[in-house]
Amino acid sequence: MVIDNDEVPVLDGSSSGYCMLIEEAGIKELDKSKKAIKVKKEVEVTTPEGKRVCLKPSNHIVYDFKISFDHPSIGEQNFHFDYSIAEYKENISRARTFGFLHEVQYLRSVGLAQGGSMENAIVLDQSKVLNPEGLRYTDEFVRHKILDAIGDMALLGYTLVGEYDAVAGSHHLNHLLTKELYKDPENYEIIDLEEASEEAEVFELAYSKVEI
């Protein structure tokens, strides 16, 4: 795949279409094992408003996210996700991005979000979800936040092995978090997934010898 613009195509607002395309293309086994970045020390980024994103050491790949919106269709949501390919496809990949109607109207007025619609996002007014088909999960909003976080952590350049924990996290805070992790070499180590899988079964979930 070649990306020649600022973002990948939105499709339906989730990553399920990409999962399908990857499955159709298949995987290729390489002659050498895949590397990963393993969190060794806890790193954290916070804001005065109480937003927080954090990476913690773990032999597992875990994402825990909490959001709170003053909206009857969202409210407080929390989702704990123990990573596996099957669980990602079933519980995370189908969660769509979301936005509020007044924000969409403003973005369009300044030339942004021109392709945004209820076909590629969950749209909410002040009281309800406007999409006629409703939600795919009752907590689809927080699940999409985890989808976002997984994508943001992929920009580290390696599969992340550790625990990601967030309260009202965002793309911007995740970017700052990756910079914070890389700030000190003592915060992480680059590991060989095939060797690590001999010590911890979870590493097998992150592909030990394959590349898409």
Determine how many CB atoms are found less than 10 A away from the CB of residue 114. Answer: 8
Which residue in 80, 102, 171, 172 is the catalytic one? 171
With DSSP H G I counted as helix, E B as strand and the rest as coil, what are the percentages for the chain, rounded to 5? Answer: 30, 25, 40
171 noted as active-site residue: yes
The CA-based diameter of the chain, rounded to the nearest angstrom, is: 55
Structure tokens at 200: 């911890």
DSSP secondary structure code for residue 133 in this structure: T
Cβ 196 vs Cβ 73: under 8 Å: no
Q: What is the DSSP string of 60-99?
A: SEEEEEEEEESSTTTEEEEEEEE--HHHHHHHTTTPPPEE
Residue 127 CA to its chain's centroid (Å)? 27
What span, in angstroms and rounded, lies between the C-alpha atoms of 208 and 116? Answer: 38
Catalytic positions, please? 171
